Chain A
Amino acid sequence: EVQLVESGGGLVQPGRSLKLSCLASGFTFSNYGMNWIRQAPGKGLEWVASISSSSSYIYYADTVKGRFTISRDNAKNTLYLQMTSLRSEDTALYYCARSTYWGQGVMVTVSS
């Protein structure tokens, strides 16, 4: 069974950094591209970033480009999202996803 478990969320002050992790199991992680998607409170879904299976191709939404970094460690079956210069508008539930498989999400709150 495909499982994706996010961690690393929490309350952080504006301008600070936070790193999310997503531990994958139930499939050969190194064979699949992965994504981060977020949902601000009461809002819809927004794609954030994608990374190919070997990290050769990486894409970001314009809203996070230059501040967020997606990466992966195929030996550890783990996807990451390093978030820097956080803003209040980054407050959201962050999901990792492999095609139609999604994790349960992890909450990031940016507030002073």
Chain B
Amino acid sequence: DIQMTQTPSSMPASLGERVTISCRASQGISNYLNWYQQKPDGTIKPLIYYTSNLQSGVPSRFSGSGSGTDYSLTISSLEPEDFAMYYCQQYDSSPWTFGGGTKLELK
């Protein structure tokens, strides 16, 4: 199985700050990488698909990039509703595997 290493596991940040979350795959995943946001009630919202494509309705302050084994999610200017958990997921090969998550916390 492809291992996904997501860093950092937690990140204190301030409103308006620019933050970047990284995800490294144990082998190349050909850009088959999604990003999700999870709120405390468990609701999972897709943010980015295929590395850099914004899901419909997701604010443009979210962006994704990467290639090969290294990928990242950037939030350009944090809003109050952005403080949540974030997960990366590869779907290049079965089974789907996920990063361990990043908890974005208000500093």
Of B34, B44, B100, B101, most buried by chain A (CB within 10 Å of CB) is B44
On whether the beta carbons of A37 and B96 are closer than 8 Å, the reply is: yes
Number of interface residues of A (CB under 8 A): 18
Give the complex CA separation of A37 and B43 in angstroms: 13
On whether the beta carbons of A44 and B98 are closer than 8 Å, the reply is: yes
A35 within 8 A of B: yes
Residue of A nearest to B91 (CB): A99
A100 within 8 A of B: yes
* Chain B residues proximal to chain A, CB less than 8 Å: 34, 36, 42-44, 46, 49, 55, 87, 89, 91, 94-101
10 further interface pairs, Cβ-Cβ under 8 Å (given A50-B95, A59-B95, A100-B49):
A39-B42, A44-B87, A44-B98, A46-B98, A47-B98, A50-B94, A50-B96, A99-B91, A100-B36, A100-B46
